[in-house]
Amino acid sequence: MRRRGPVGVNVLVACAAAVSFAISPVRAASQMDRELTVVTVGLADARYGVSVPDVTTAYFSVLEPLTLNCQPLNYIYLDTTNSGAFPGQAYQMILLAKQSGKKLTRVDYEQRGPAGQCFLRLIQLD
């Protein structure tokens, strides 16, 4: 007959695994949607709890339902903490799509954190 370890050790290992899973960082869910009509374009500051304090954040929404349940109101935010040119150039493309009535042919975004906010990763306008 094979001897097993004490029950207390098995319980301790199981509890340690559960705790490490519970405190692990929330992973971002990524998605690509196509043929989206821009409905709303806007800017928000830190008072609205959107991004980083003292940083203005751009956002937009689309007519078609998004695959991910982006919070709040199905907005997709532009991460303006990025020091590169992407946020400004993407915002210009979104404004162009809104003004011209053209659809965004591809939008890649990711959902981050417990609040469920979505952030733009790639945008395409044909």
Q: What pLDDT score does 110 carry?
A: 93
Residue 112: pLDDT band (50, 70, 90) is confident
Residue found by looking up tokens 């799509």 in the block: 97
Residue 97 lies in a domain: yes
Residue 21 lies in a domain: no
Among 39, 83, 29, 87, which residue's Cα sits nearest to residue 63?
A: 39
Residue 17 lies in a domain: no
Q: What is the pLDDT of residues 45-74, one digit of tens each?
A: 766 655 555 567 889 999 999 999 998 888
Quote the domain boundaries for residue 76. 29-124
Say if residue 99's pLDDT is above 70.
yes
Residue found by looking up tokens 């981050």 in the block: 112
The CA distance from 83 to 39, in Å, is: 27
Residue 20: pLDDT band (50, 70, 90) is very low
Strand, coil or helix: 61: strand
Residue 20 lies in a domain: no
Q: How many domains does the chain have?
A: 1
Residue 14 lies in a domain: no
Residue 18 lies in a domain: no
Q: The CATH number of the domain where 78 resides is what?
A: 2.40.50.110
